[in-house]
Amino acid sequence: MVKNYYPHLFRDEFMWYERAIGMRQKIFELTEFIVNVLEVEDLGASWDGRAVYHDSCQVSRALGITDEPSSLLSNVRGLELLEMERPDLCCGFGGTFSLQFPTVSEAILQEKVSHILATEADYVISAEISCLLNIGGYLKKQGYGVQALHIAEVLDNR
């Protein structure tokens, strides 16, 4: 979010605004950096199991990054990447949203988890840690055997 909103903080101070714009050009989400800057799509990673990818609101909607995670995961040896219904559906966390509206948040999360479980995946992978904490915590609390993983964990496994 720093990339998108930092310049906005300085919109009335020209010198600082220009610096914030310059800084924004140096900030990247992990998968965006690997694929678009380093121009690498295969990190030599391997991971055994079946997984779904959760497109987080932060990464996909706010930053517009959708293809890069899938491109990297499709090259992980041993990983069977499954499609779930509504991969872009919010998990219900939304920062303070889950605290302000816990009932609504949990209903959104339950729908997300139902789509994950329907695939019979072993793992749910995302590039957004807050989503993983929310989804993973719920999966564990309910006793489901699906493990939540950050994409960096998968990409770093050899």
Domains held by the chain: number: 1
What is the number of other CB atoms lying within 10 angstroms of the CB of residue 11?
A: 10
Tell whether 31 is covered by a domain.
no
- Mean pLDDT in residue range 103-124: 97
How far is C-alpha 75 from the chain's CA centre?
Answer: 18
Tell whether 107 is covered by a domain.
yes
Tell whether 11 is covered by a domain.
no
Pairing of strands 123-126, 147-150: parallel
Tell whether 146 is covered by a domain.
yes
15 Cβ neighbours under 8 A, 6+ residues apart: none
Tell whether 23 is covered by a domain.
no
Do 16 and 10 form a contact (C-beta atoms < 8 A)? Answer: yes
* Confidence band of 1 (pLDDT split at 50, 70, 90): low
Q: What is the pLDDT of residues 46-80, one digit of tens each?
A: 999 999 999 988 887 778 788 999 999 999 999 99
Q: What is the CATH number of the domain that holds 139?
A: 3.40.50
Residue ranges making up the domain that contains 148? 41-155
Tell whether 15 is covered by a domain.
no
pLDDT score for 96? 87
**pTM higher than 0.85 for the full model?**
yes
Spell out a b/e string for 98-133, using b for 16 or more CB atoms within 10 Å of the CB, else e.
beeeeeebeebbeebbebbbebebbbbbbbbebbbe
Do 81 and 123 form a contact (C-beta atoms < 8 A)? Answer: no
Tell whether 119 is covered by a domain.
yes
* Confidence band of 4 (pLDDT split at 50, 70, 90): confident
